A and B are shown apart, each in its own frame.
Chain A
Amino acid sequence: MPLVETLPVGPDTAQWSLWSTTARLVVTDPAALAAVRAVVEAELAEVELACSRFRPDSEIMRVYAGAGRPVRVSLRLAELIAAALAAAERTDGDVDPTVAVALRGLGYDRDFAELSVAGAGARVVVVPAPGWRRVRLDGLELTVDPGVELDLGATAKAWAADRCARLATDRYDVGVLVSLGGDIATAGPAPEGGWRVLVQDRPGDPATTVSLPAGAGLATSSTVSRCWGGDGGILHHILDPRSGLPAPPVWRTASVAAPTCVEANTLSTAVLVRGRRAPAWLRELGAPARLVDTRLAVSTFGSWPAEPAVPMENVPVPVQTSAEVTAS
């Protein structure tokens, strides 16, 4: 189940369903809310049309028809691809956009709202990702090798949040927070004390409220959200590109703050793929981050405020995940 937003919606806030999750918009001037929302919704519609893997009329689908030849794409799609490739390079391929076929093989082949956790038992096919170097972008010329398909889910939401926040504050000169399923971008001036964010994965998980300064991003990735049923157990959507399998659930949840939401999302996704190697990496980077392990123990990094330990009696049994899924 993706993020469930339970916070109240005040006069400075708009909220609606989007991409099987929740979009939430907060502005510093309620008078601008309706106009800002219009800008955000229009941009999100364009992002979907550019890169959705579930829409046959999306621009990315036309790229595949190029069968390995360069295809001239829109600036929007070029920037989305650039963000995905940058994430792949920065993480040594841990966050790889070429996982679309792998996700489809595992059963994530339609809008998430149409998948079912109760569908456990459905046959899955494990396919390692072909690798992001089989996608080349030169200006607006995009080349995708034959058979390679892209899932930009790891970075597209974050890119869209960054883009929407920047567009809105450029146009209306207000402070803006855009959250797309908990991937948060801010732009313009922040409220007094910063933007206040409740960080929590599933209900009952450890929770904390933090403040972000103006112009920062925050993203949370999870191995217990967006899960569905396949043979061998419950699958989640954060794949290790090298195996084509959901990443082993060393971490239940990873939250990272960064200069942009794309960077935050890149890190939070990579943390889940890196597993036990992630803490040393985060310390080396100095990034503010919060990791929750499968027993709900919280670790914080960088400037992220420390949290008290959760009493053991409150720790639930870890959720079954896909670690047992075997290649077929």
Chain B
Amino acid sequence: MTGNQADPRFHRDLGYRRATSVTVGLAAASVAASFVVAGAAWAATQEARENHASNPDGSVPATDDSGANPGGATAPQGQPNGTTSQPRPSRNSNPGSLWPGVTGGGGPPQVSSGGS
């Protein structure tokens, strides 16, 4: 951790309330993580990602520099009534691997990936 990261003003000045994300972000600067390590980190955090929830107190996390929702947008509270297809976690189809499992797509594509 750098001196800046240890300094509480570092987080406050930039409006980041989730110190862990800042730490993780700047940890990249150390360039210590190999792809293998990154893959392992992904595997370790996959469960957490899938079980992601808002802040424990129910508040909306503010993670941008301004601390305000752009455009005054407000967070939706729960799923709207009448939703017929609740999103379900798609677990890694390559368990035990350091990389995400890629499988044949079932159904119409939602997005394209081509040379950008």
Contact partners of B64 in chain A: CB under 8 A:
39, 42-43, 46, 167
Interface segment out of the listed A61-69, A84-92, A93-101, A309-317: A84-92
**Chain A interface residues toward B at CB < 8 A:** 2-7, 13, 21, 24, 26, 28-29, 31-32, 34-35, 38-39, 41-43, 46, 74-76, 78-79, 81-83, 85-86, 89-90, 137-140, 157, 166-167, 169-175, 177, 179-184, 187-202, 205, 208-226, 253, 255, 257-260, 263, 267, 285-288, 302-305
Given contacts A139-B4, A182-B115, A202-B114, contact A258 B90 (CB under 8 A): no
| Chain B residues within 8 Å of chain A by Cβ, number | 74
Contact of B69 with A139 in the complex, beta carbons under 8 Å: no
A70 to B53, CA, bound (A): 39
Distance between A203 CB and nearest chain B CB, rounded to angstroms: 9
A195 to B111, CA, bound (A): 8
Residue ID in chain B nearest A170 by CB atoms: B61
Contact of A26 with B111 in the complex, beta carbons under 8 Å: yes
6 A-B pairs whose Cβ atoms sit less than 8 Å apart in the complex: A82-B25, A139-B5, A182-B113, A182-B114, A197-B105, A210-B105
Contact of A82 with B28 in the complex, beta carbons under 8 Å: yes
Contact of B109 with A191 in the complex, beta carbons under 8 Å: no
A213 to B50, CA, bound (A): 10
Closest 9 CB pairs of A and B: A222-B115, A181-B116, A225-B115, A259-B42, A209-B105, A139-B4, A28-B87, A42-B70, A190-B90
Most B-side CB within 10 Å, residue of A196, A201, A213: A213
A187, A192, A201, A257: the one within 8 Å of B88 (CB): A192
Contact partners of B74 in chain A: CB under 8 A:
35
Contact of B76 with A211 in the complex, beta carbons under 8 Å: no
Contact of A198 with B4 in the complex, beta carbons under 8 Å: no
Contact of B99 with A3 in the complex, beta carbons under 8 Å: no
Contact of B108 with A258 in the complex, beta carbons under 8 Å: no
Contact partners of B31 in chain A: CB under 8 A:
82, 85-86, 89-90
Whether a CB of chain A sits under 8 angstroms from the CB of B106 is: yes
B5, B60, B71: the one within 8 Å of A38 (CB): B71
A7, A34, A287: the one within 8 Å of B35 (CB): A287
> Chain A interface mostly helix, strand, loop or mixed?
mixed
A170, A220, A259: the one within 8 Å of B39 (CB): A259
Q: Which of B22-79 contact A (CB under 8 A)?
A: 22, 25-26, 28-29, 31, 33-36, 38-39, 41-42, 45-46, 49-50, 52-54, 60-65, 69-71, 73-76, 79
Contact of A24 with B102 in the complex, beta carbons under 8 Å: no
Contact partners of B39 in chain A: CB under 8 A:
258-259
Given contacts A181-B116, A198-B109, contact A213 B91 (CB under 8 A): yes
Residue ID in chain A nearest B40 by CB atoms: A259
Contact of B116 with A191 in the complex, beta carbons under 8 Å: no
Contact of B112 with A6 in the complex, beta carbons under 8 Å: yes
A193, A214, A220: the one within 8 Å of B114 (CB): A220
Given contacts A79-B26, A90-B34, A193-B90, contact A210 B102 (CB under 8 A): yes
Residue ID in chain B nearest A6 by CB atoms: B112
Contact of A218 with B90 in the complex, beta carbons under 8 Å: no
A196 to B113, CA, bound (A): 10
B38, B90, B97: the one within 8 Å of A260 (CB): B38
Contact of B50 with A13 in the complex, beta carbons under 8 Å: no
Distance between A197 CB and nearest chain B CB, rounded to angstroms: 5
A78 to B53, CA, bound (A): 28
Contact partners of A224 in chain B: CB under 8 A:
115
Contact partners of A174 in chain B: CB under 8 A:
76, 87
Contact partners of B29 in chain A: CB under 8 A:
78, 81-82, 85-86, 137, 139
Most B-side CB within 10 Å, residue of A83, A138, A180, A193: A193
